[in-house]
Copies of this chain bind each other. A is one copy, B any other.
Amino acid sequence: MWQLYQFPLCPFSRKVRLLLGEKGVGYDLVRESPWAMRDEFLDLNPAGTTPVMVDADKGVTLIDSQAICEYFEETIDRFPLISGTAAGRAEVRRLVAWFDQNFYGDVVAPLLHERMKKRIVHRLSPDGGVLREAMKRANTHMDYMDYLLDHRSWLGGGTMSLADIAAAAHLSVADYLGGIDWTGHDPVKRWYAGFKSRPSFRPLLSERMEIVAPPAHYDKPDF
């Protein structure tokens, strides 16, 4: 059985969990706080990041959310998530990198730092200026997502792909942390409402991080 090292608000672990859910791969959750830099965890992954997946029976350790997703895409035929032509697959990977790097760096990382890590590690309250800047950037990202969804059925093209999963993973963490204003983003809102009712998404939406509570609309399919 696979074990997935993660914590409830890690967007990269959510991306992996959504993919595993769609592909029907079973796994056990292992709670890991990467900021604690536990020795045993650093032995497992010298980068010290979640997610990490381990299958002790197979003797396999997988590190880095994209390497993990590509692994299951290659080994599990069910529900291909990087499919189509080579150029179409490149477009999916471009968008995954966009959400994992730009959306994460502009929006999710500052929100996680201000509203979660600062509280846990330093017992400090968040910096309002940083929060406002992250929300402004979230808005710009959602304008781009609106634009994509005005031209395509899904973010990466005609079918649901890993681009949608990566986007939903990051957006859901930003929404939990109060960083998303849905006003004026009907295309993204419709797309995300559909995502929220997928069986792969429901378990994630019901989990809580002890130190910070989500806004009331967070787990409602109708918001």
Contacts and interface: CB of A to CB of B under 8 A. Distances in A.
Interface of A: 46-47, 58, 60, 62-64, 66-68, 70-71, 74-75, 86-87, 89-91, 93-94, 97-98, 102, 144
Contact of A46 (B47, B89, B144): B144
Given A67-B94, A97-B64, A86 B74 contact: yes
A86 B71 contact: yes
A90 B67 contact: yes
A60 to B, nearest CB: 5
Which of A60, A90, A93 has the most chain B CB within a 10 Å cutoff?
A90
Contact of A47 (B62, B70, B71, B102): B102
Number of copies: 2
A61 to B, nearest CB: 9
Contact of A66 (B75, B87, B97): B97
A interface, over-half SS: helix
B102 A90 contact: no
A70 B62 CA distance: 19
6 contacts: A66-B66, A67-B93, A67-B94, A67-B97, A70-B89, A74-B86
Contacts of A46: 144
Contacts of A102: 47
Contacts of A93: 64, 66-67, 70
A71 B90 CA distance: 6
What are the 6 A-B residue pairs with the smallest beta carbon separation, nearest first? A67-B93, A64-B97, A71-B90, A63-B94, A67-B90, A67-B94
A74 B144 CA distance: 28
